[in-house]
Structure 1
């Protein structure tokens, strides 16, 4: 399957070339494919904050390259690059606080910077580390796709009708996607009849990104409102719900795009298996349960304004970005280290001790 996925690759969101980071602006898709050139750590942090780039893996990769840009900027200015880079670490860490990939990638870059000898040029080492983080995610995507497809084949075989949520494809990662990577792989194996995806309000990642990626590759896809999920599970013969994760807690609770929790509840009611696909860097063993984490909220204007015009002057709005899906609603978590069925704290601790499968 690896060779078939590589041959089918059409979409990428991150491009490091000519000593700059280019990010495909996901705010303008599917209408325009605009690339944003980032030449500093601050410009990458701004791109993360403003949703130019989104998806936990893609955010982490972008932050790694941002530190290369930061170090280059500080060296050109003739300042102490080590001290100046700490401010970049802080700025980037605050750009999207929920995704642990961001902090994981920043810490990995910090550790690599610490190993640079005094007086040596840090840029080759930092760039090599950022490239390694990027390539590692790409390889993880390939491994997860194979593991997820094997699970689908083992449980139900061909003729899959899949429901997914938000966006977990190539645009959100350094490779082929997490949940969408599994769906891509299953389609290449002739196992997918149709994929249903909700809009994912208010940013419409499902409508603008997921549907676009799937249609772009000839995978049959049907778009619906988010609120149609339970009805679709009841009436459309869904065989799997496959989603990604922005963070997974030590006990297997999953923090993902708002709406995931209610989809998991509906899936259990209808006897549909629920798969979470995410790199192991998303698993945060320092957080015991999902109840320990504050849920990020975005500005109320995303709900109260359409085209820059306020739709109602006298109401407030609650705009949580994520929700927590309890582990007892999840059938399997797929990572590049392996798959964990009926996840709990003991199984995840054991998983994190393993080496990668690729």
Structure 2
């Protein structure tokens, strides 16, 4: 009876609302976002009518996650063009909204270049706006396809590294459908393992200070009926020591030319513990996250977030849950160190999984081959 109740409860869960969609009401085109600051308590949509509103949504984490930021940036250019705003100015605002996630810059430039080519070719403003919108939609479709391919490659890799199934996967931050045009990056691999009957348990780091794991990954895991447990970030070491982790699988916001990986702060300590305990540390990211123009980890610009995100306890039911604010827990005037990301050196990364294949060991030459494969449209 209990199992039947669980199945009934899962069947009654409504489908996840679109994380991002383009809409054209009578008053003009808009970009509609699922407001991730309000999750899991409220599934609320946020309507952006111009680029400053979208920039604010990006900076306050209403929309977040490297692949989705690229998609949002592309649609932002389309929005500016469709509403007759200065596209060059819009691109400048969007590109610097969050500096670490290279996908944002990629998406902005993709749509801006499509817009510029249309104008240079003699197209009207309306035609140029249509080209920018099609570029955004094409990126959206491509990311969904990349998500599917990464899930397949990642599942195959887990099978090679961990024969026998029953994987116990530890993940950090949020890397599912909330960050993607599809089902995500790292979370998509865990979800593929779950659907294949190969996932024994998903360990979900809460991900301080903004609790993306607790608020978002746990929400996605519950919706998909996955066996999961939430843990405080500083409890991960005890899991490793107890032999309860078979693999760490995370996403990335930027991967440098040498294979250094920038991801949500707290990822690097997991890599160190994984190496000590002989546990695979796997990074899953689309090739749009690879940045051959950034030479190494030291060259990655790491975003510094407001100190209040550390000094205050977030209020998940408020619109500010994703940007700090809430109940102060530190003495007034306390200074905080709050990098949004840390950087894991390539020698601690077992493999990088992309839509065009897997590299292991992770080297600069391997990253260059992945970039070339993506550029040439070669898919394993």
Whether TM exceeds 0.5 here: the answer is yes
Q: Distance in 2 between matches of 1:230 and 1:11?
A: 35
Match of 1:171 among 162, 178, 181: 178
Aligned residues: 343
Report what 1:78 is aligned to.
none
Match of 1:323 among 321, 332, 342: 342
Are residues 1:346 and 2:353 paired?
no
Q: Distance in 2 between matches of 1:94 and 1:347?
A: 29
User: Contact 2:17 / 2:34 at 8 angstroms: preserved in 1?
Assistant: no
Residues 1:98 and 1:153: Cα distance change in structure 2 (over 3 Å): same
Between 227-236 and 183-192, the greater mean CA deviation after superposition:
227-236
User: Contact 1:248 / 1:282 at 8 angstroms: preserved in 2?
Assistant: yes
SS in 1 for 2:342: strand
Over residues 163-213 of structure 1, what are the superposed CA-to-partner deviations in whole Å (9 max), with x where a residue is unaligned? 000000000111100000111111111100100011111110000000110
Are residues 1:281 and 2:281 paired?
no
SS in 2 for 1:203: coil
User: Contact 1:11 / 1:170 at 8 angstroms: preserved in 2?
Assistant: no
Structure-to-structure mapping, 1:1-358, within 5 angstroms: 10=16, 12-18=18-24, 19-74=29-84, 84-116=86-118, 117-120=121-124, 121=126, 122-157=128-163, 158-306=165-313, 307-309=326-328, 311-354=330-373, 355-357=377-379
Q: Distance in 1 between matches of 2:123 and 2:169?
A: 55
Between 12-21 and 170-179, the greater mean CA deviation after superposition:
12-21
User: Contact 1:250 / 1:345 at 8 angstroms: preserved in 2?
Assistant: yes
Q: Distance in 1 between matches of 2:15 and 2:198?
A: 19
Report what 2:3 is aligned to.
none
User: Contact 2:99 / 2:301 at 8 angstroms: preserved in 1?
Assistant: no
TM-score by length of structure 1 reads 0.92
Instruction: List alignment gaps of at least 5 residues for structure 1.
Output: 1-7, 75-80
Over residues 222-241 of structure 1, what are the superposed CA-to-partner deviations in whole Å (9 max), with x where a residue is unaligned? 00000011111121521110
Q: Distance in 2 between matches of 1:119 and 1:142?
A: 35
Q: Over aligned residue pairs, what C-alpha RMSD do you find?
A: 1.6
Q: Distance in 1 between matches of 2:364 and 2:137?
A: 32
Over residues 217-259 of structure 1, what are the superposed CA-to-partner deviations in whole Å (9 max), with x where a residue is unaligned? 1001100000011111121521110000000000101000101
Q: Distance in 1 between matches of 2:305 and 2:335?
A: 13
Q: Distance in 1 between matches of 2:379 and 2:234?
A: 37
User: Contact 1:11 / 1:213 at 8 angstroms: preserved in 2?
Assistant: no
Q: Distance in 2 between matches of 1:356 and 1:106?
A: 24
Q: Distance in 1 between matches of 2:16 and 2:51?
A: 28
User: Contact 2:169 / 2:246 at 8 angstroms: preserved in 1?
Assistant: yes
Residues 1:332 and 1:299: Cα distance change in structure 2 (over 3 Å): same
SS in 1 for 2:36: coil
Instruction: List alignment gaps of at least 5 residues for structure 2.
Output: 1-13, 314-325
- Could you tell me how far 1:17 is from its partner in structure 2? 2.5
Over residues 130-151 of structure 1, what are the superposed CA-to-partner deviations in whole Å (9 max), with x where a residue is unaligned? 1001011000000000000011
- Could you tell me how far 1:346 is from its partner in structure 2? 1.1
Between 104-113 and 249-258, the greater mean CA deviation after superposition:
104-113
Q: Distance in 1 between matches of 2:122 and 2:41?
A: 48
TM-score by length of structure 2 reads 0.87
- Could you tell me how far 1:125 is from its partner in structure 2? 1.3
Residues 1:173 and 1:356: Cα distance change in structure 2 (over 3 Å): farther
User: Contact 1:9 / 1:176 at 8 angstroms: preserved in 2?
Assistant: no
Report what 2:323 is aligned to.
none
Report what 1:3 is aligned to.
none
- Could you tell me how far 1:119 is from its partner in structure 2? 4.5
